[in-house]
């Protein structure tokens, strides 16, 4: 991957937003793969601002989110569908019919995974996939041990992942499972941009860049992809060789 170390989390967000905007304007990101979590929040705020100011349009863009919690309805405040609506879609001119998030309520998760893959394919594949990284090296909700050829499917969440996301479920419990794009799905994106900020990500970033390539660190799979940019703040990059 091309590693870019920036001074602050704000700089990471600005760089990521600038990259996304440039690709969208070039017509090189008609289909976006999107991540949730804390790291991309500021990126989505900057993109919404650009749309509001008339500098950017998401009107013709299709989006596919990486993952959704199992058992949550789209209007549950902790769901990733509601996160996307709140932080990006509602404040932009995106056509909601072109936005996709895996179905956390699917009665048949295997069919739902297959259907999600088919919808990605029908849209022409993902041009640009935005990623975060878990403290354990997960991408999407592909926890350590996930096969590199995995596809969209139901997975159990690691205890550390559930603990890290407990803040999104005040007074409740974090779901135990999620539907996530697989590592194989992610690797088919034409371009990938991974964001990592803060000291809690330092070990995962070092393992992704310098450690062995294998399922023990799901993000190490990105070393098999020809077009990956990793945008880090100084803290997240601190342990890279
Ligand atoms: C989110 C996702 C996860 C997060 C990761 C980092 O859709 O798939 O892999 O990107 O857990 O989360 P934050 O940014 O909250 O540290």
- pLDDT per residue as tens digits for the range 25-61: 999 999 999 999 999 999 999 999 999 999 999 999 9
Predicted local distance difference test score (pLDDT) of residue 158: 95
Q: Is 232 exposed, middle or buried (0-12, 13-18, 19+ CB in 10 A)?
A: buried
Q: Give the residue among 64, 65, 220 at the shortest CA–CA distance from 133.
A: 220
Mean pLDDT value across the chain: 97
For the chain, the domains span 2-187+211-225
d(CA 64, CA 174): 22
> Can you tell me which residue has the tokens 């041990």?
145
pLDDT band of 182, cuts 50, 70, 90: very high
Predicted local distance difference test score (pLDDT) of residue 235: 98
Between the CA of 134 and the centroid of ligand 1 the distance, in Å, is 6
Predicted local distance difference test score (pLDDT) of residue 9: 98
For the segment(s) 2-187+211-225, the CATH number from 3.40.50.1360, 3.30.1330.60, 3.40.50.300, 1.20.1740.10 is 3.40.50.1360
Q: Which of 79, 100, 134 to mutate to test the pocket of ligand 1 (most atoms within 8 A of CB)?
A: 134
Q: What is the pTM of this model?
A: 0.98
Q: Does the active-site annotation cover 136?
A: yes
Predicted local distance difference test score (pLDDT) of residue 39: 98
pLDDT band of 240, cuts 50, 70, 90: very high
**Whether ipTM exceeds 0.95:** yes
Predicted local distance difference test score (pLDDT) of residue 83: 98
Alpha helices in the chain (DSSP H): 9-26, 41-52, 80-84, 109-122, 159-164, 183-187, 202-210
85-98 pLDDT, tens digit per residue, is 999 999 999 999 99
Q: Give the residue among 195, 187, 181 at the shortest CA–CA distance from 220.
A: 187
Between the CA of 116 and the centroid of ligand 1 the distance, in Å, is 20
Q: Which atom of ligand 1 is nearest to the CA of 34?
A: 7
Q: Does the active-site annotation cover 87?
A: no
d(CA 69, CA 169): 12
Predicted local distance difference test score (pLDDT) of residue 138: 98
Structure tokens at 79: 């769901």
Residue 134 near ligand 1, beta carbon < 6 Å: yes
pLDDT band of 228, cuts 50, 70, 90: very high
């Amino acid at each position: 991957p091309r590693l870019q170390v920036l001074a602050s989390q704000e700089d990471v967000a600005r760089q990521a937003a600038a990259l996304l905007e440039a690709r969208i304007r070039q017509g090189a990101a008609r289909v976006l793969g999107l991540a949730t979590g804390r790291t991309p929040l500021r990126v989505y705020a900057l993109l919404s601002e650009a749309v509001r100011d008339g500098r950017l349009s998401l009107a013709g863009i299709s989006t596919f989110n990486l993952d959704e919690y199992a058992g949550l309805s789209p209007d549950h405040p902790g769901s990733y569908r509601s996160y996307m609506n709140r932080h990006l879609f509602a404040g932009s001119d995106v056509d909601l019919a072109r936005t996709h998030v895996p179905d956390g309520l699917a009665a048949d998760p295997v069919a739902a995974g297959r259907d999600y893959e088919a919808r990605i394919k029908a849209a022409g594949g993902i041009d640009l996939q935005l990623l975060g990284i878990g403290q354990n090296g997960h991408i999407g909700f592909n926890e350590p041990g996930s096969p590199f050829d995995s596809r969209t499917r139901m997975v159990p969440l690691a205890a550390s992942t559930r603990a890290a996301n407990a803040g999104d479920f005040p007074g409740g419990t974090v779901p135990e499972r999620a539907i996530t794009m697989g590592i194989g799905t992610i690797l088919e994106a034409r371009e990938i941009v991974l964001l990592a900020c803060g000291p809690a990500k330092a070990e995962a970033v070092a393992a992704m860049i310098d450690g062995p390539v294998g399922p023990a660190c799901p993000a190490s799979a990105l070393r098999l992809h020809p077009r990956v940019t990793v945008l880090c703040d100084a803290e997240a990059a601190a342990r890279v060789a």
